């Protein structure tokens, strides 16, 4: 399993959220999920809004092109990005390392 899945022109990301961090950042993988740190608290939907804002900027899409499909009140979340315009370097690096890890396990 991987942290992302393409569904036609939409990208599904599985996230593990760490609220109340010093800065917003993708810090690697947490099992089969991306670990995302956000400085917003997990109260009053603040962390979810910060996730949408951060991911929209990373993938160069409007916030309205991001949909939180599960995990509204949980650390584990799934989001869908409609037609991502840009793939961040961390996405390609993590995708490649995940693939290499799977190949090494299979060998």
Give me the CATH topology for the region 4-106. Answer: Conserved Hypothetical Protein Mth637; Chain: A; (3.30.1200)
Give CA–CA dist 76/78, Å, rounded: 7
Q: Residues 4-33: what's their mean pLDDT?
A: 93
Query: What pLDDT shows up at residue 96?
Result: 62
Neighbours of 1 (CB within 10 A): 9
Q: What angle do CA 76, 81, 84 make, to 5 degrees?
A: 135
Domains of the chain: which residue ranges? 4-106
User: pLDDT at residue 107 above 60?
Assistant: no
Query: What pLDDT shows up at residue 97?
Result: 55
Q: Residues 2-31: what's their mean pLDDT?
A: 93
* Residues 12 and 78 sit within 8 Å (Cβ to Cβ): yes
CA 101 from chain centre, in angstroms, equals 19
pTM given for the model: 0.84
Tokens, residue 36? 């995302």
Of 18 and 105, the structure prediction assigns the larger pLDDT to 18
Query: What pLDDT shows up at residue 73?
Result: 93
* Residues 19 and 35 sit within 8 Å (Cβ to Cβ): no
CA 30 from chain centre, in angstroms, equals 11
């Amino acid at each position: 399993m991987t942290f992302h899945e393409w569904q036609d022109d939409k990208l599904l990301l599985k996230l593990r959220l760490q609220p109340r961090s010093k800065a917003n950042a993708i810090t690697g993988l947490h099992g089969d999920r991306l670990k995302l740190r956000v400085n917003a608290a997990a109260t009053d939907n603040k962390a979810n809004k910060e996730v949408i804002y951060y991911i929209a900027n990373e993938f160069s899409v409007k916030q309205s092109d991001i949909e939180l499909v599960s995990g509204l009140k949980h650390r584990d979340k799934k989001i869908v990005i409609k037609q991502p315009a840009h793939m961040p370097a961390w996405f390609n690096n993590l995708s490649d390392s995940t693939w290499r890890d799977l190949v090494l396990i299979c060998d």
